[in-house]
Amino acid sequence: MFKHILLATDGSAASAHAASVAVDMARTHGARLTALYVVDPYPYLGVGEANPVGFQAYTAAAMEHASQAHAAVAALCEKADPPVKLEVRVAQDVGAAAGIAQTATLQNADLVVVGSHGRTGLARLMLGSVAARVVAESPVPVLIAR
């Protein structure tokens, strides 16, 4: 049914659960799996003096975090029977929901899997929900793993 699954991962517990679901689905359907980490845009551009050292440190830390998140997904893929082939991607200079939706289009994914932090009430209203924005922006079906 699914030929290419896009997993959005940020290294959180919620995305670890989503990774487990995505790997299992990829194994079951014989689908390709792409793990995507979206680096949030640098928050301090245009504020005061431009500090290239701060930007470089931010980017380096984000790429290290992406590498760790991808390694966790890769470990799940290797443990699957049969192992699931994994491709990793990083999107930069775009918000999380837009980056996920854009990558789904560019990679011709037919399913997006994201984790949900399960916030409700005021916390969800104040913080928003990346998963809800992905559902609204995605050109393909989205599975939210809770």
Q: What is the per-residue pLDDT across 75-107, written as a single tens digit (0 to 9) for each?
A: 999 999 999 999 999 999 899 999 999 999 999
- Bigger pLDDT: 42 vs 79: 79
Q: What is the mean pLDDT of residues 31-57?
A: 81
Q: Is residue 130 part of a domain?
A: yes
Distance CA 83, CA 18 (A): 17
Bridge partners of 115, per DSSP, are 145
Side-chain-side CA neighbours of 136 within 13 Å: the count stands at 9
Percent pLDDT > 70 in the chain is 87
Question: Which tokens in the block code for residue 47?
Answer: 């504020």
Structural domain containing residue 51: 4-106+115-138
pLDDT for position 123: 47
Confidence of residue 54 (pLDDT cuts 50, 70, 90): confident
Q: Is 62 helix (H, G, I), strand (E, B) or coil?
A: helix
Confidence of residue 146 (pLDDT cuts 50, 70, 90): confident
Q: Which residues of 120-141 are buried (b: 16+ CB within 10 A; e: fewer)?
A: eeeeeeeeebbbebbbebbebe
Q: Which residues contact 13 (CB under 8 A, 6 or more apart)?
A: 115
Q: Is residue 144 part of a domain?
A: no
Q: Is residue 89 part of a domain?
A: yes
Domain containing residue 38: CATH number? 3.40.50.620
143 closest CA partner among 118, 117, 112: 112
Q: Pick left, alpha or beta for residue 130 (phi over 0 → left; psi -120 to 50 → alpha; otherwise beta).
A: alpha
pTM, whole model, 2 decimals? 0.89
Question: Which tokens in the block code for residue 117?
Answer: 């932090």
Q: Is residue 143 part of a domain?
A: no
pLDDT above 70 (res 125): no
Q: Is residue 123 part of a domain?
A: yes
Q: Is residue 145 part of a domain?
A: no
Q: Which residues contact 41 (CB under 8 A, 6 or more apart)?
A: 92, 93, 94, 95
The domain total for the chain is 1
- Bigger pLDDT: 109 vs 127: 109
pLDDT above 50 (res 126): no
